[in-house]
Structure 1
Amino acid sequence: MNVAYPYTLEPQPEGGFLVQFVDLEEAFTEGDTEEQAAFNAAEVLTGVLAVRLEQGEVIPPPSPANGRPVALPDAPVQAALLIHFARQGHSLSELARAMGTSWPAAQRLTRPGNPTLKQLERAAAALGKRLVLSLE
């Protein structure tokens, strides 16, 4: 699964660019240049998704980009999102049992933090998935 969220980039009459995420109405920012707007987009996306994860709010999967620019949250939020989406239909208790760990330990994997690769591999295996890393 990919957690690249598309956004619109609109030039503003007074200069700069407005960024609005397609799937997250509260996620918007701006930048003086397209490059700055893209950097700010990743920052605001990370913040909005981290808050939603911490508060147990609904997180929509990203829409297809369809030629729009996309932003990725930082690595700890990406890891939590991937576990969040992969465990749909599985309770935290089921995940903890399958991993041979405690419920609080399984819950920590669904929150932004710094899980180890070993923890992520165990969680992926428990969900019938495999961990794949990529540098882009």
Structure 2
Amino acid sequence: MLYKIPLLLSPQPEGGFTVTSPLLPELVTEGNTVEEALANVQDALAAVIEAYEDLGRALPVNMRVAGTDRALWLETVVTAP
């Protein structure tokens, strides 16, 4: 399943980034680089989905991306040298 979620990458004074989501306050992860922080989002999201299922809570409806047979609008952070 594909999910569309807003993410906030906050730089930390000691280095690295903390990632949170205003849509899912339970989603919190981090990484030493932007790439690592974004890669960790997948595990954090899986944990949040599992917790929601255990609690019988529904995810926000607008998170699910229906079907992948159409083009998807995606905004992401990419680093380049």
Q: Do the structures match in fold with TM over 0.5?
A: yes
Higher relative contact order (CA 8 A, sep 6+): 2
Q: CA RMSD in A?
A: 2.7
Change (3 A) 1:13 1:62: farther
Q: Distance in 2 between matches of 1:29 and 1:41?
A: 6
Q: Match of 1:11?
A: 11
- Structure with greater helix percent: 1
Q: Match of 1:58?
A: 58
The 5-angstrom pairing of residues 61-100 of structure 1 reads: 61-62=61-62
**5+ residue gaps, structure 1:** 64-80, 83-130
Number of residue pairs matched by the alignment: 70
Q: Is the 8 A contact 1:23 1:62 kept in 2?
A: no
- Structure with greater strand percent: 2
- The one-letter code matched in structure 1 to 2:24 is L
Using the TM superposition, give the Cα deviation of residue 61 of structure 1 relative to its aligned residue in structure 2, in angstroms: 3.2
Q: Match of 1:38?
A: 38
> Sequence identity of aligned pairs in percent?
33
Change (3 A) 1:62 1:13: farther
Large movers: runs of 4+ above 2 Å: 131-134
Using the TM superposition, give the Cα deviation of residue 4 of structure 1 relative to its aligned residue in structure 2, in angstroms: 1.2
Greater Cα radius of gyration, structure 1 or 2: 1
TM-score, normalization by structure 1: 0.43
